[in-house]
Amino acid sequence: MSAADDPKTLVEAWLRRAVVGHGLCPYAKAPLDQGRVRVEAVRAKDPVALVARIDEAARWLVVRGAQVVETTLLACDEPWLDFEALLDVLGLADRHLHEVGLDEAVQLVGFHPAYRFEGAPAEDPANATNRAPVPVVQLLRRASVAAAAAEGDPEAVWRRNVAYLRRLGPARARALYDRAALTREPEAAGRDPGPGPGDPAAS
């Protein structure tokens, strides 16, 4: 399997180059550097199978401390998993986690190559805040989300990301999650010379 076809490799490159490299998530660098981010490629023939894998990952995360694993990302590059299907899976999984009592500990976030915020044009670079090279379900610890919200303003981070991505423009924002760009060497992939949203100059 080539790097461009390996979901785990693609998601790990996206985390390093886009999420951390462009400062899109100020909370990601430390756990990633410390090896506390788990990325797993999963196979699932349908939504029910994927929800079962999410359940397994949630239970796995809950029994381990944040000092061991902070977050888990499930990369599922299946033909049936288009953007609308991902939204359906997230809805099913949220209900399931509530039914089994895991929703108080785990929060789900979805990423997709075709992610589109409601009411936003498909070509709006701001959509890249939730775009990834393959469909991804991220499992976050609710305690960590609450701690981050207490220390800062997540809405402000999102607004900075939107402004930054729109400055990049559609083509350069697309390169952040493009499979071919992510599998090239960093020097060949190119970097934006301007400040990222996590930099003081971008505030």
Q: At what angle do helices 47-62 and 83-99 cross, to 10 degrees?
A: 50
**195 within a domain of the structure (yes/no):** no
For residue range 44-97, list pLDDT tens digits in order.
999 999 999 999 999 999 999 999 999 999 999 999 999 999 999 999 999 999
pLDDT in tens, 96-143: 999 999 999 999 999 999 999 999 999 999 999 999 999 999 999 999
Number of domains the chain contains:
1
| 90 part of a folded domain | yes
Q: Is residue 147 part of a domain?
A: yes
Measure the CA–CA gap between 139 and 44, rounded to whole angstroms: 17
Question: Which pLDDT score is estimated for 152?
Answer: 79
- Asked if the model's pLDDT at residue 180 lies above 60, the reply is yes
192: in domain: no
Question: Which tops the pLDDT comparison, 197 or 189?
Answer: 197
DSSP string, 177-202: T-HHHHHS-HHHH---SSPPTTSGGG
* pLDDT value, residue 200: 33
Residues 61, 72 contacting (CB under 8 angstroms): yes
162, part of any domain? yes
Q: Could you tell me if residue 203 is inside a domain?
A: no
Q: Which domain holds residue 10?
A: 3-186
pTM for this entry: 0.90
The answer to whether position 23 is within a domain reads yes
Looking at per-residue pLDDT, the higher value among 191 and 39 belongs to 39
Distance CA 155, CA 161 (A): 10
Instruction: Check: CB of residue 44 under 8 Å from CB of residue 78.
Output: yes
Q: Is the pLDDT at 1 greater than 50, yes or no? A: yes
Asked if residue 188 has pLDDT above 90, the reply is no
Q: Which residues sit opposite 40 in a β-bridge?
A: 74
Is 200 inside any structural domain?
Answer: no
